[in-house]
Amino acid sequence: MKTLLANKEQKIALGLILLAVATRLLPHPPNFAPITGIALFAAARFQGKYLAVLIPFLSLFLTDLLLGLSAITWFVYAGFGLILLLGFQTKKTRITTVLLSSVLFFVVSNLGVWVLHYPLTLEGLTACFTLAIPFFTNTLLGDLVYTGVLFFSFSSIKQYVLQPR
């Protein structure tokens, strides 16, 4: 019975992730995206680390094929790899985990933008990070919203649908 329940839980988690992935393809503000939420949710919900890593990266890659790949892609993926590692290390996903994830992504992705598109000077680094601040606001909001929706939805479905009456 416990294995059947775990399988149902994983199917529900996967369904929620697929819904979140679909929102990445809808019009949205820049950097207001579900991938951080998906990474933290997958790290928390899938017992097998293989699935917990594969699902966020596959989600990101498949949508990137439709939205476009660029030179910065490697840095973006590195940022999400660090977010997954953080998700694996935390016992419980809290708001501080989400905020740290947002900061990690901001730093790693913008280091990539700096290396690829700015002079490799202190002035170039400062300009790059200063111009990225408006995008950070959307990143924070998107990460908080999507992570909250994924975890809350799963918890609600588990409590009200999967629990025997």
pLDDT digits (tens, 9 = 90+) for 101-153: 999 999 999 999 999 999 999 999 999 999 999 999 999 999 999 999 999 99
The mean pLDDT value for 87-94 works out to 91
5: pLDDT strictly greater than 70: no
CB 67 within 8 A of CB 25: yes
pLDDT for 4 equals 47
- Which residues neighbour 140 within 8 Å (Cβ) at sequence distance 6 or greater? 99, 102
Q: Rounded to whole angstroms, how far apart are CA atoms 97 and 160? A: 27
The mean pLDDT value for 18-30 works out to 94
Domain that residue 22 falls in:
2-162
Count other Cβ atoms within 10 Å, centred on residue 119. Answer: 11
1: pLDDT strictly greater than 60: no
Domains in the chain, number: 1
